[in-house]
Amino acid sequence: YWRDAMFKLVRLTIGSCIPCLKARATRQHNYLVTQVQTLLTEGLWQVVGVDLAGPYGRSSTTATDATTEDTNKSHYLLLVHDYVSGYTVARPLRDSKSTTVASVLDCVFLEHGSPAVLLTDHDRTILSGKAVKLTLARHGTRHYILPGYSYHLGFWERAHKDFVEVTRALQASRPVTGPHAPAPTTETSYIADYMVAVRAYNHTPRLWANVTPFQLHFGYSGRLPGLHPETDNAVDWDTLNMRYTSTNIVDFIQKNVPLLTEAREKMESTLGEYLELWRIKQQRHLERYTNENPNDYEPKLFDLIFTTKRSDSSIGNHLQTHWSGPFTIVQLQGSSMVKAIQGILLEGLGGVTAKEDRTTAIVPLSYGASESFSLKNVVHARALQEAVSNYYQKSQRAYLDSDGTLRTMKLTTPSQPDDSRRVSMARDRTALQHAHLPMPAHLRSEDHGGEETTEDLPPLSPRPAHDGLEAEQEQEDPSSSSTAFNSPLAWATPTPGDTNEEQLHVEGTSTPEQMTEEDSPPDDVDITSKLRECLGDSTRPMFGKFTTSCPPSGSLVVSTKAPHIGLAKVTDDVISDSHIQLQALDVVEEDGMITTPEISSIDLYTTPYDSVIYVRPSSSNWTRARGKQLRDLLIK
């Protein structure tokens, strides 16, 4: 992280740190008055501080650039400082390895005696190494370190500052030229001056004593070898343990085992209570979910279901229904998936039959495409299925009208081969009535011929009330009538702006014998021809034009015939001389960019190649301009 005036911000933050200000004032006060009452020990050379100074005079700090001469010279100083007298022992070192420091400490302790406590800074590599630990254990010395990120400095830091100032004064006092000028500065000159500064410090009396640290040091009675430090009462162990951190792992573990045991027992009890409460809540939730959503439904072929494509607990739109249907199951896909077609399909009507294994139904394409649903998003409509069966036993066919109302019609024959055509025509009549449009001739003849009579049943969704409200508004203002119907035949339903009475009479001249082999409604041909007149056709692939030749495989087209009316991709262009195989695609817009994922719920289907509108050769790299053209084409 970085910002403007970062140095000023850090300086102000550190300068206003209250603990640091208090510690700084305490250090300055103790250094001036040297309060003897706050000392940790009453004896000399019982508590010592060790620090490593350097490197000095090294040409390079990397191992690859170091030469043989550098390794044979001393670049470090090991300083051992007495806590009470201030006497300091300085030993030059060639390197700062833990083994080198341990050997020098061993020599110092053998010469001056073994202290009871050794204090260091928060060093974890050199002064706390294994070799140093073994040396201290051999001399019976306990090792303490400063706490991590401590705002208190070691008592030896003030003396080290004096050493550096005296060393600089010695180097500055030498003449630069003249007969008494020294030889050129060598690598060991700074270390030699530093040791002279240490000697001068040892022979200078402190403010609170009339003798020098040298006199105090060599006048004390040292601790005998093998004598345990804790048997000597000269050290204030309680204050020492409070200010510093012991590095004795055994003592640390022994002191903290009871705390760890208590914390573990408390954690186990707390965790056990939490898990028990969680199990109780989970059990209650599962019981409530099982009661509200029983999963004992075993789907069967031709069952009527209602479906959804999102969870009941989704956020938003909680006052609106997101269930759609009814759907009819036409295929069982394992134990958790089914395929269904929107609408009410009855076995034996309109060419709808079941295979021998009773897992797949043979359904004509005129009923629409099937979609896949998970059983967790499916609800079996038992009551509706019983009602439809009762009407079927009375020779009446129940169907879902275009306005969401459940209606019935009388069966002409027990099998009624033209069932899909009769249902679609009944839906179109209702749509035209709601739109206040003139009735085509073929629909009017069917309506008044006495062959079909419809009866209203209770509505299946809240849409009829909404449509009724729209109907009242349209009756008050007939000029503003414009509705959209959620029906598979929405493309076959003319709108007021695109249809007049003459066109309806022309479209009404078609007869049922002119339908295609797929039993598609005659209005589909009229819609395709109308689009062809508006857009035109081309002998070569051209955007927005009907194709008079077979489009290449992988190209994108707009299908104008059931079971999918919209964008599709050519998967096979050699089905027959006049038909191609298509894969239905969806159009998704994100941040102004168009993507065309496949619609897995709609199977591959075939259609005549002269009934598709060419779009582009592939589905990759949609530009914004081409995406806008595609949206305009689909809206048109």
In the chain, the amino acid numbered 66 is A
- Run means of pLDDT, 10 residues per run, the chain, 636 residues: 79 71 60 54 85 76 51 85 89 90 92 88 83 89 79 76 87 68 60 90 79 80 65 73 71 68 79 86 84 79 88 63 86 89 89 89 88 88 90 89 86 86 87 80 57 49 38 39 36 36 35 40 58 82 85 87 84 76 85 81 84 85 81 77
378 neighbors 421 (Cβ within 8 angstroms): no
Sketch out the chain's domains with CATH numbers: 1-28 (no CATH), 34-59+71-247 (3.30.420.10), 304-309+322-482+496-511 (no CATH), 525-635 (no CATH)
Residue labelled with tokens 């021809």? 529
From CA 384, how far away is CA 391, in angstroms rounded? 11
First to last CA, the chain: 54
557 neighbors 613 (Cβ within 8 angstroms): yes
Q: Name the percent of the chain in helix, strand, coil, to the closest 5.
A: 40, 20, 45
From CA 32, how far away is CA 49, in angstroms rounded? 20
- pLDDT at site 213: 84
In the 8-state DSSP scheme, what is residue 578? S
Residue labelled with tokens 């449509």? 467
417 preceded by cis ω (within 30°)?
A: no
From CA 466, how far away is CA 488, in angstroms rounded? 19
φ/ψ of residue 93, rounded to 5? -130, 150
Give the pair of three-digit tokens for residue 441: 């001739």
From residue 42, alpha-carbon distances to 34, 64, 117, 153, 243 in Å are 15, 49, 13, 21, 17
Q: pTM for the whole thing?
A: 0.37
Q: From the CB of residue 577, how many other CB atoms can be counted at a distance below 10 Å?
A: 7
* E-state strands within 150-259: 245-246
Type and span of the H or E element at 407: strand 406-410
- pLDDT at site 216: 82
- pLDDT at site 168: 87
Sign of CA dihedral 18, 19, 22, 27: negative
Residue of 84, 144, 117 lying closest to 228 (CA atoms) = 117
Residue of 109, 107, 102, 55 lying closest to 82 (CA atoms) = 109
Give the pair of three-digit tokens for residue 174: 């030498």
Residue 436 CA to its chain's centroid (Å):
53
Concatenated DSSP letters of 520-544: --HHHHHHHHHHHHHH-EESS--TT
Residue 155 CA to its chain's centroid (Å):
51
Task: Give the pairing type, strands 47-53 and 117-120.
Answer: parallel
Based on its alpha-carbon atoms, the radius of gyration of the chain, rounded to whole angstroms, reads 48
* E-state strands within 170-310: 245-246, 304-307
3-state secondary structure of 412: coil
Give the pair of three-digit tokens for residue 617: 């050769």
Type and span of the H or E element at 48: strand 47-53
